[in-house]
Amino acid sequence: MDVRPLLVLGLIGVFLTGCGYQMADGGLLRGISVNIDTPEVDVEVLRALQAMLPVEDPDDGASPQAALTVHEEVYQKWPIAAAAFDDRMQFEVKLEWIFSVKDWQGDFLIDRERVAVVGYFERENQALLTAHEGELVLQRQLRAEALAQLRFRLEAAMDKVKSRDP
């Protein structure tokens, strides 16, 4: 068994923590409920958002402190290049989530904001089935990037709320 990759990951972790990089405080996002506003948004988005947010203890009895609502998911694809005889095509893909966040009083913390990520993939027209699988993998990667951006915005909004509350 080769342990070199583990050592490299360990060293990267040590260097990142040594320079002040820290994982975000999961406590900031505690108590946020997730809603999907339209049936066009894939259920995978809801699952990813629920997995990102810390789970509240049901015995706690505390009501949610904020509500995240995803209003729309837009997935667009454009061809940007084609090889001779159309054997191969390259596409630019854009994934957007339109979302808002309200506090427990119904006031907007984030009012209909957009998270957008862009990716690229290449399709060989002779292997359309595997090209579709490759596009699905890219879509999952774009969703993960959008999730990271959304988490960053949520943490900033919730930090602002916590800092103004006495």
Q: pLDDT digits over 106-154, tens only?
A: 889 999 999 999 999 887 767 666 777 888 888 999 999 999 999 999 9
Cα angle value 10/14/17 (rounded, 5°): 135
Six-digit token string for 25: 């405080």
Q: What global pTM score does this model have?
A: 0.73
Domain membership flag for residue 95: yes
Residue 158 covered by a domain: yes
Q: What's the Cα-to-Cα distance from 104 to each of 26, 40, 125, rounded to whole Å?
A: 19, 26, 51
8 within a domain of the structure (yes/no): no
Residue 43 lies in a domain: yes
Bridge partners, residue 68, by sequence: 34, 101
Token pair of 140, please?
A: 């999952």
In a domain, residue 18? The reply is no
Which token pair is 150?
């959304």
**Structural domains in the chain (count):** 1
Token pair 């602002």 in the structure block, residue: 160
Distance, C-alpha 79 to centroid of its chain = 24
Residue 33 domain flag: yes
Instruction: Say if 99 falls within a structural domain.
Output: yes
- Grouping H, G, I as helix, E, B as strand and the rest as coil, residue 51 is helix
pLDDT digits (tens, 9 = 90+) for 55-111: 665 555 566 788 999 999 999 999 888 766 777 788 899 999 999 999 888 889 999
Q: Is residue 109 part of a domain?
A: yes
Domain that holds residue 96: 25-164
Which CATH number covers residue 148? 3.30.160.150
**How many angstroms separate the CA atoms of 100 and 109, rounded?**
8
